[in-house]
C-alpha cells in the first residue's frame, strides 16, 4: 500500500515522471464537455473569405501568392488559407476527394484580420485599405447628403423600447446597384459584424431593407408578442411573434438569438407608416422589405443596447457600401426622434480629431522619424494626418475616420505607424539602465526543496491544479464543509470542478495511471493548493506544499519517515530547537489508524502529516 | 580426422596434421565416436590455440558390393557368353544355371554388346572371345579413376554410388597449449587478499551488454525549461513577481487592463468564474473610480469605450487568465511609491 507524506506549510511541487502523465494522464479519457454546444475556439481572429480574382481586380493588379502574402504581412493581416468554394462545401459535407460537389472552382483567399478592425471584414473594405496602403488611392471622405431637416426620413422611438432594447440608429444608401457578388458581400458583412462587435446580436442587430417597398416615417416600438403579426423573411404565411419564437426553435441559425428577447413582456419591432413590419430585432426581418438584386435604395437600421457600438456598426455598413451609391461615398441621413422629444441625426460620420506630439508617436516605438515621414505612414493606414499648426514641439494632427473606431489613444496611432514602418525594421536595443534581478524567496526555497527530494531518488511530477470534487474530497475520505475549496462556477468538464486543496489526491491519481510502473514508485510534487481565506481581498489564497508518495510491495512507512527526517534536517533553522521527536500520532481519515502521524515543530505548529494510505482511498 | 557421411562413425588418424587422402583410411586405435560429439571436440580445440578447422569436402564414386564382385571375378555377361556351348543353349537351361534375374541382366548386357544372338529359342554365341570391358572399367573406378562419360551407365546399373567425405584440417596456432586454463570473470576480495590476482587471466567482457540501471530521482522536464527561462530574465536584471495567487478579481484581471466588460474574453466560455469565493470584497476605491471613468468616457489621452461600466462585473472572481493581472497589481503598487527608480 502506498505511503503518503504531506506537509502543509512547505511548498510541494509535483513533476511528472513520464511525460505522458503530465499532459494527459495515460488511460484517462477526456470526458465530453459539460454543455453540448461545440466549444468556440477561444477568441479566434476573424477570417474573411474573398475571391482571389475579385480581390486582385479591386486592387488593380495581379499578385503571385508569395507577393500577396508579403503584402498582407506588411499590412498586419495574414493569408490563412487558399481554397475553393467546392473544397469548402466538400469539407462541410465530409465528401471524398473525387465525389462531385457543388460550388465552383473560384480560388478563395481566407484572410485573417484583427478582431477590432471592422473595416476589414468584407472585400470592399479590405481592398480599399490595401489600395490606400500601397498608395494607389487616397482615404475616402464620407459625406452626408445634404437633405433639408424637414425632408429627412424619420424614425420615432417609443418609450417601451427602453425596457428591452433602447437604441436605434439608421441611414439610407441611395442609388446602389447590387450585382450578386455585392449582394452576398453585403449579407456576409452583416453576419460578420453580428458575430463580432455585436456579440451575437445581443449588443447590436442590423436590419437592411428595400426602401422603395416602404413608406416613412418609421417607428421603433416594443409591443407584447401577441400584438405583432407579419410575414417573416423567407416565409409565406403570417406569424404572430410568440408563435414565431416557437417556429424558430428548430432553426439552426436563428435559435441561438431567441433568448435575447423571448422572455421579455415586450418585443422590439419596427414599423413603417403603413404598419408594415420592417423587422423584429434581433431575430428576423420582414419579407415585405427584403432586399433583392433589383433594390436601388437601401434603408439600414441598427437596434442596440449599446449606442456607441450601434454607431460603429452603422458607420461600418455605410462606409463599406456607400461606394456603390450613385453619389460615391455619400450617405443619406435619418433623423431619430426619441420619445422625450430629443432628436439626433445618423449616421454620425464625423472624424475623431487627435493632436499628438511627434515624440509620443515615435518614442514608444523606438525609431526616429520626422513629421513628414510619420504623416505619410499614417496616411497609408487611413489615418488622415497633417502638421499641427500650433505648439513648440513637433506635433501631428490626425483625423481618424469613422472606419477606424479602434483608434482610441495616441498609442493606437503609434501602433499603426509601427506597422506601416514595419516591425522588423525597428532596431533592437538593450535597456539603458542596470537593475538587479531577484527571485521570490518562496520560489527560491521551493526550488531547493525540489532538488533535495529529487536527490533522494524521487521522481518529480507536475499535476493539474484543477480537479474533480470527488477526487478532492470523497476519494480521500474527506467531507466538504463548504469552507475549504474554491469551486468553479462554469466547469468545462467534471474533471475540473474545484481547485485542489491537497496535493495528495493528485499524487494518488498519478499513481493510479502508472500503476504498472516497476516498483518502487517514488514520486513527489512541490506546488500550490488553494483554500478559501477571508483575510484576503479576493477571498482565497495559495499555499505552497510538498507531497511525496512511496509505493512498493511493502508499505514503506519508514521510507517516507526517512525522507521527512532528511527534509527537516536540511530545512531547520539553526535557532529552532527541535525536540527529539517531531512526530505526533494523528487520526486523519485518509490513512490507516495508528499507521500515521503528524509533524509538529517545537513551537507546537503542525507542518505536515504522513501515513500509510487507507485501503478505501481511491 | 576423416568423416564418412554414410556411416556415422569416426576413424581417427594417427597424425592430426598431415594432409588427408581419400584413398587411405587407417584404422585408428581409438573407438568410433559419434559425429556430433566429434564435431564439438574439434570446435573446442580452438580454445587450445588450434587454428579454426578448415573443412575440405571430397566426393568420390565407389563401387557397390555387387560391382566389387564383378571387378574381382569378371562381369556377368562374360560369364554368360562363356557358359554358352558352340551349339548354343536354351534359355531355360541358362536360366536354370544363372537364375532368372542374373540371366536377364546378363542377357541384356551381352545382347547390347552383340555377343549373343537368338535363333529359334536358342541362345548362340556370336563371338569367340569376349573382352571383359566392364571388369576393366570397374577396376579402374575402384582404383580411383574418374570416368565422367561412362559413370552414367554405371550409375544406371546401380554399380556405383557417390560418397561424400568431409575432412577437417587442424593446425596448431601460435597459442597452442596442451593443458586447458580456466578464465576468471571477476576480481574479488579473495583474489586480492590471497595474491591469486597475479595469476588471473580474464574472460572477455561483452561490452555490448548494458550496464545495470541505477535507481535515481528525476526533475520534471517542464520545470527545468521554466528554470532556464527564469534565468534569462534574472540575468537581465528582472525581479520575479509573486504569482502564487490563482484566484483573482475581474477588476485586476480585466478592468485595470482596459479590457471592456462586454469583451468576448470575459465570456463564460473562455474564463473560469467562481462559485466560491464568488466576489471580491475589497478593491481600491479611488483607483476603481479612475478605471471606471476611462472605460466610460476616456481620459489620459484615450477616447474611452463609451459604455456603462458596472462595479458588479469587476467584483466577479475568476481563475486568473493571464499573469498580466499580477503585473496590473504590481504597477498599482509601484505607483504608490514616492519616487520611481529602477529596482536595485
**What nine digits make up the cell of A297?**
435604395
Contact A431 B233 (CB under 8 A): no
Q: Is the distance from CB of B63 to CB of B159 less than 8 angstroms?
A: yes
Q: Is the distance from CB of A315 to CB of A189 less than 8 angstroms?
A: no
Bridge partners, A154 (sequence order): A335
Please tell me the predicted confidence (pLDDT) of residue B220.
96
**What nine digits make up the cell of A521?**
514508485
- The residue in chain B having the minimum alpha-carbon distance to the alpha carbon of residue A532 is B277
Mean pLDDT, range A237-247, rounded to an integer: 92
Mean pLDDT, range B268-282, rounded to an integer: 90
Q: Is the distance from CB of A142 to CB of A401 less than 8 angstroms?
A: yes
Please tell me the predicted confidence (pLDDT) of residue A40.
45
Of the candidates A184, A74, A186, the residue with the CA atom closest to the CA atom of residue A63: A74
Q: Which residue has the higher pLDDT, B283 or B158?
A: B283
**What nine digits make up the cell of A134?**
500601397
Where residue A37 falls among pLDDT bands split at 50, 70, 90? very low
> Cis peptide leading into A146, omega within 30 of 0?
no
**What nine digits make up the cell of B82?**
562363356
Structure confidence by residue, pLDDT tens digits, B66-111: 888 887 887 777 787 788 887 778 878 878 887 887 778 788 877 8
Mean pLDDT, range A2-28, rounded to an integer: 30
Q: Give the C-alpha separation, A198 to A191, whole Å.
A: 10
The pTM (predicted TM-score) of the whole model is 0.73
Structure confidence by residue, pLDDT tens digits, A92-106: 777 766 666 667 788
Q: Cα torsion for A6, A9, A10, A13, to the nearest 10°?
A: 60
Does position A432 have pLDDT exceeding 90, yes or no? no
Q: Is the distance from CB of B106 to CB of B112 less than 8 angstroms?
A: no
Does position A613 have pLDDT exceeding 80, yes or no? yes
User: Smallest CA–CA separation between B275 and chain A, in Å?
Assistant: 4
User: Smallest CA–CA separation between B341 and chain A, in Å?
Assistant: 10
**What nine digits make up the cell of B225?**
525549461
Q: Does domain A443-613 have CATH number 3.90.600.10?
A: no
Domains A47-134 and A352-422 share a fold: yes
Please tell me the predicted confidence (pLDDT) of residue B110.
79
User: Smallest CA–CA separation between B187 and chain A, in Å?
Assistant: 30
Poorest-pLDDT segment among A5-14, A329-338, A576-585:
A5-14
**What nine digits make up the cell of A398?**
490626425
Gap between the terminal Cα atoms of chain A: 12
Where residue A19 falls among pLDDT bands split at 50, 70, 90? very low
Q: Give the C-alpha separation, B276 to A433, whole Å.
A: 44
Poorest-pLDDT segment among A227-231, A271-275, A390-394:
A390-394
Mutate to test the interface with B, among A10, A491, A538 (most CBs of B within 10 A): A538
Contact A42 B306 (CB under 8 A): no
Q: Which of B239, B244, B301 sits opposite A442 (nearest CB)?
A: B244
Q: Which residue has the higher pLDDT, B328 or B79?
A: B328
Does position B10 have pLDDT exceeding 70, yes or no? no
Q: Give the C-alpha separation, A143 to A562, whole Å.
A: 83
Q: Which of B218, B301, B342 sits opposite A459 (nearest CB)?
A: B218
Which ranges of A348-393 does DSSP label H, i.e. alpha helix? 358-365, 371-380
Please tell me the predicted confidence (pLDDT) of residue A577.
58
**What nine digits make up the cell of B145?**
579413376
Element (H, E) at B194: helix B189-194
Q: What is the CA radius of gyration of chain A?
A: 33
Does position A11 have pLDDT exceeding 60, yes or no? no
Of the candidates B247, B262, B228, B273, the residue with the CA atom closest to the CA atom of residue B329: B247
Contact B277 A434 (CB under 8 A): no
Q: Which of A15, A438, A453 sits opposite B223 (nearest CB)?
A: A15
Structure confidence by residue, pLDDT tens digits, A198-223: 989 999 999 999 999 999 899 999 99
Q: Which of A456, A461, A489 sits opposite B274 (nearest CB)?
A: A489
Q: Where are the domains of chain A?
A: 47-134, 143-346, 352-422, 443-613
Look-up: residue for cell 414599423?
A271
Q: Specify the pairing of strand A521-532 against strand A459-460.
A: parallel
Query: How would DSSP label each residue in A535-594?
Result: TSSSSEEEEEEEEEEEESSS--HHHHHHHHHHHHHHH--TTS---S--EEE---TTEEEE
Residue pairs between chains A and B whose CB atoms are closer than 8 Å: 173
Fold of A352-422: Phenylalanyl-tRNA Synthetase; Chain B, domain 1 (3.30.56)
For A328, list phi and psi in degrees, rounded to 5. Answer: -55, 135
Does position A243 have pLDDT exceeding 50, yes or no? yes
User: Smallest CA–CA separation between A324 and chain B, in Å?
Assistant: 31
Fold of A47-134: Phenylalanyl-tRNA Synthetase; Chain B, domain 1 (3.30.56)
What class does CATH assign to A143-346? alpha beta
- The residue in chain A having the minimum alpha-carbon distance to the alpha carbon of residue B299 is A409
Structure confidence by residue, pLDDT tens digits, A475-527: 899 988 888 999 999 898 888 999 999 999 999 999 999 999 998 999 999 99
Contact A489 B273 (CB under 8 A): yes
Mean pLDDT, range A556-576, rounded to an integer: 82
Please tell me the predicted confidence (pLDDT) of residue A26.
33
Please tell me the predicted confidence (pLDDT) of residue B80.
79
Q: Side-chain half-sphere of A158: how many Cα atoms within 13 Å?
A: 15
**What nine digits make up the cell of A39?**
466549444
**Which residues are CB-contacts of B109 (< 8 A; sequence separation ≥ 6)?**
B75, B76, B77, B134
Contact B277 A486 (CB under 8 A): yes
Structure confidence by residue, pLDDT tens digits, A140-178: 999 999 989 888 999 999 999 999 999 999 999 999 988
Other CB atoms within 10 A of residue A437 CB? 16
Element (H, E) at A153: strand A153-157
Q: Say what percent of chain A tops pLDDT 70.
A: 90
Structure confidence by residue, pLDDT tens digits, A340-390: 999 999 999 999 999 999 999 999 999 999 999 999 999 999 999 999 876
Please tell me the predicted confidence (pLDDT) of residue A44.
66
Provide the strand spans (E) within A350-479: 352-357, 384-387, 395-400, 459-460, 466-467
Please tell me the predicted confidence (pLDDT) of residue B133.
77
Look-up: residue for cell 568431409?
B166
Interface confidence (ipTM) of the complex? 0.83
Of the candidates A573, A599, A464, A492, the residue with the CA atom closest to the CA atom of residue A7: A599
Does position B178 have pLDDT exceeding 80, yes or no? no
Contact B277 A203 (CB under 8 A): no
Q: Cα torsion for A328, A329, A334, A335, to the nearest 10°?
A: -130
Mean pLDDT, range A609-615, rounded to an integer: 93
Bridge partners, B56 (sequence order): B167
Q: Where are the domains of chain B?
A: 33-74+133-205, 76-131, 247-336
Please tell me the predicted confidence (pLDDT) of residue B148.
76
Identify all chain B residues contacting A19, using CB atoms and an 8 Å cutoff. Answer: 221
Please tell me the predicted confidence (pLDDT) of residue B2.
52
Please tell me the predicted confidence (pLDDT) of residue A101.
64
Of the candidates B23, B13, B19, the residue with the CA atom closest to the CA atom of residue B54: B19
Does position A579 have pLDDT exceeding 80, yes or no? no
Please tell me the predicted confidence (pLDDT) of residue B266.
87
Identify all chain A residues contacting B236, using CB atoms and an 8 Å cutoff. Answer: 431, 437
Q: Which of A40, A409, A431 sits opposite B302 (nearest CB)?
A: A409
Q: Which of A203, A407, A457 sits opposite B216 (nearest CB)?
A: A457
Contact A490 B230 (CB under 8 A): no
Amino acid at each position: 500500500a502506498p505511503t503518503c507524506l504531506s506537509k502543509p506549510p512547505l511548498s510541494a511541487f509535483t513533476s511528472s515522471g513520464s511525460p505522458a502523465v503530465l499532459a494527459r494522464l495515460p488511460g484517462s479519457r477526456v470526458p465530453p464537455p459539460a454543455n453540448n454546444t461545440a466549444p468556440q475556439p477561444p477568441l479566434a481572429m476573424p477570417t474573411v473569405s474573398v475571391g482571389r480574382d475579385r480581390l486582385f481586380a479591386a486592387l488593380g493588379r495581379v499578385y503571385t501568392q508569395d507577393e500577396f502574402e508579403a503584402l498582407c504581412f506588411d499590412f498586419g493581416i495574414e493569408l490563412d488559407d487558399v481554397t475553393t468554394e467546392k473544397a469548402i462545401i466538400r469539407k462541410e459535407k465530409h465528401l471524398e476527394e473525387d465525389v462531385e460537389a457543388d460550388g465552383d472552382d473560384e480560388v478563395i483567399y481566407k484572410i485573417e484580420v484583427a478582431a477590432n478592425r471592422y473595416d476589414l471584414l468584407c472585400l470592399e473594405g479590405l481592398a480599399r485599405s490595401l489600395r490606400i496602403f500601397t498608395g494607389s488611392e487616397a482615404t475616402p471622405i464620407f459625406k452626408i447628403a445634404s437633405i433639408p431637416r424637414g425632408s429627412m426620413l424619420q424614425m420615432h422611438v417609443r418609450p417601451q423600447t427602453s425596457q428591452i432594447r433602447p437604441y436605434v440608429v439608421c441611414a439610407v444608401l441611395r442609388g446602389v446597384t447590387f450585382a450578386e457578388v455585392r449582394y452576398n458581400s453585403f449579407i456576409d458583412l452583416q453576419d460578420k459584424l453580428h458575430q463580432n462587435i455585436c456579440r451575437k446580436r445581443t449588443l447590436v442587430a442590423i436590419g437592411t431593407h428595400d426602401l422603395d417597398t416602404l413608406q416613412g416615417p418609421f417607428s421603433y416600438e416594443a409591443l407584447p408578442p401577441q400584438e405583432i403579426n407579419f410575414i417573416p423573411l423567407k416565409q409565406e404565411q403570417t406569424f404572430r411573434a410568440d408563435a414565431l419564437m416557437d417556429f424558430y426553435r428548430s432553426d439552426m441559425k436563428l435559435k441561438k438569438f431567441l433568448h435575447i428577447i423571448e422572455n421579455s413582456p415586450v418585443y422590439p419591432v419596427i414599423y413603417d407608416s403603413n404598419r408594415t413590419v420592417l423587422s423584429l430585432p434581433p431575430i428576423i426581418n420582414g419579407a415585405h422589405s427584403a432586399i433583392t438584386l433589383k433594390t436601388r435604395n437601401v434603408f439600414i437600421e441598427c437596434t442596440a443596447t449599446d449606442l456607441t457600438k450601434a454607431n460603429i456598426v452603422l458607420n461600418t455598413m455605410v462606409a463599406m457600401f456607400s461606394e456603390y451609391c450613385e453619389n460615391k461615398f455619400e450617405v443619406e441621413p435619418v433623423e431619430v426622434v426619441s420619445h422625450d422629444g430629443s432628436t439626433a441625426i445618423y449616421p454620425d460620420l464625423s472624424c475623431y480629431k487627435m493632436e499628438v506630439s511627434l515624440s509620443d508617436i515615435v518614442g514608444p516605438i523606438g525609431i526616429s522619424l520626422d513629421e513628414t515621414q510619420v504623416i505619410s505612414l499614417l496616411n497609408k493606414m487611413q489615418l488622415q494626418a497633417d502638421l499641427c499648426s500650433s505648439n513648440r514641439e513637433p506635433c501631428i494632427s490626425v483625423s481618424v475616420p469613422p472606419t477606424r473606431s479602434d483608434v482610441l489613444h495616441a498609442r493606437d496611432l503609434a501602433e499603426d505607424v509601427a506597422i506601416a514602418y514595419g516591425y522588423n525594421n525597428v532596431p533592437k536595443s538593450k535597456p539603458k539602465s542596470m537593475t538587479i534581478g531577484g527571485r521570490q524567496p518562496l520560489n527560491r526555497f521551493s526550488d531547493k526543496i525540489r532538488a533535495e527530494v529529487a536527490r533522494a531518488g524521487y521522481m518529480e511530477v507536475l499535476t493539474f491544479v484543477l480537479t474533480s470534487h470527488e477526487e478532492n474530497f470523497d476519494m480521500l475520505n474527506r467531507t466538504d464543509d463548504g469552507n475549504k475549496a474554491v469551486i468553479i462556477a462554469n466547469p468545462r468538464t467534471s474533471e475540473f470542478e474545484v481547485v485542489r486543496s491537497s496535493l495528495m489526491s493528485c499524487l494518488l491519481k498519478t499513481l493510479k495511471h502508472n500503476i504498472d510502473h516497476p516498483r518502487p514508485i517514488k514520486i513527489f510534487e512541490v506546488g500550490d493548493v488553494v483554500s478559501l481565506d477571508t483575510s484576503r481581498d479576493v477571498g482565497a489564497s495559495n499555499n505552497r506544499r510538498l507531497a511525496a508518495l512511496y509505493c512498493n510491495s511493502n508499505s514503506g512507512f519508514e521510507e517516507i519517515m526517512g525522507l521527512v527526517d532528511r527534509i527537516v534536517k536540511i530545512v531547520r533553522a539553526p535557532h529552532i530547537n527541535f525536540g527529539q521527536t517531531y512526530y505526533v500520532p494523528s487520526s486523519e481519515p485518509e490513512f490507516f489508524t495508528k499507521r500515521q502521524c503528524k509533524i509538529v515543530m517545537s513551537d507546537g505548529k503542525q507542518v505536515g502529516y504522513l501515513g500509510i494510505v487507507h485501503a478505501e482511498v481511491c | 580426422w576423416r568423416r564418412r557421411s554414410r556411416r556415422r562413425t569416426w576413424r581417427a588418424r594417427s597424425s592430426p596434421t598431415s594432409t588427408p587422402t581419400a584413398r587411405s583410411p587407417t584404422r585408428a586405435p581409438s573407438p568410433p565416436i559419434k559425429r556430433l560429439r566429434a564435431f564439438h571436440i574439434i570446435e573446442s580445440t580452438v580454445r587450445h590455440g588450434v587454428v579454426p578447422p578448415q573443412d575440405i569436402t571430397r566426393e568420390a564414386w565407389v563401387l557397390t558390393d555387387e560391382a566389387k564382385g564383378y571387378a574381382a571375378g569378371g562381369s556377368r555377361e562374360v560369364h554368360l557368353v562363356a557358359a554358352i556351348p558352340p551349339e548354343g543353349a536354351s534359355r531355360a537351361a541358362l536360366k536354370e544355371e544363372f537364375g532368372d534375374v542374373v540371366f536377364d541382366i546378363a542377357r541384356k548386357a551381352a545382347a547390347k554388346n552383340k555377343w549373343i544372338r537368338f535363333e529359334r529359342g536358342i541362345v548362340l554365341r556370336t563371338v569367340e572371345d569376349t573382352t571383359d570391358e566392364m571388369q576393366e572399367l570397374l577396376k579402374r573406378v575402384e582404383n580411383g579413376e574418374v570416368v565422367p562419360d561412362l559413370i552414367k551407365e554405371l550409375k544406371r546399373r546401380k554399380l556405383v554410388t557417390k560418397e561424400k567425405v568431409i575432412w577437417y584440417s587442424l593446425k596448431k596456432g601460435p597459442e597452442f597449449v596442451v593443458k586447458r586454463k580456466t578464465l576468471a570473470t571477476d576480481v574479488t576480495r579473495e583474489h586480492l587478499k590471497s595474491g591469486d590476482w597475479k595469476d588471473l587471466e580474464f574472460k572477455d567482457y561483452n561490452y555490448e551488454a548494458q550496464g545495470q540501471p541505477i535507481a535515481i530521482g528525476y526533475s520534471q522536464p517542464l520545470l527545468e525549461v521554466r528554470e532556464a527561462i527564469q534565468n534569462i530574465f534574472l540575468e537581465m536584471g528582472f525581479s520575479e513577481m509573486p504569482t502564487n495567487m490563482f484566484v483573482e478579481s475581474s477588476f485586476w484581471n480585466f478592468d485595470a487592463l482596459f479590457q471592456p466588460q462586454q469583451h468576448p474574453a470575459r465570456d463564460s466560455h473562455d474564463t473560469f468564474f467562481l462559485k466560491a469565493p464568488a466576489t471580491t470584497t475589497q478593491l481600491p476605491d479611488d483607483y476603481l473610480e479612475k478605471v471606471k471613468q476611462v472605460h466610460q468616457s476616456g481620459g489620459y489621452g484615450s477616447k474611452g469605450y463609451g459604455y456603462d461600466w458596472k462595479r458588479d462585473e469587476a467584483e466577479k472572481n475568476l481563475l486568473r487568465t493571464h499573469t498580466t493581472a499580477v503585473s496590473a497589481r504590481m504597477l498599482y503598487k509601484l505607483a504608490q511609491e514616492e519616487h520611481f527608480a529602477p529596482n536595485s
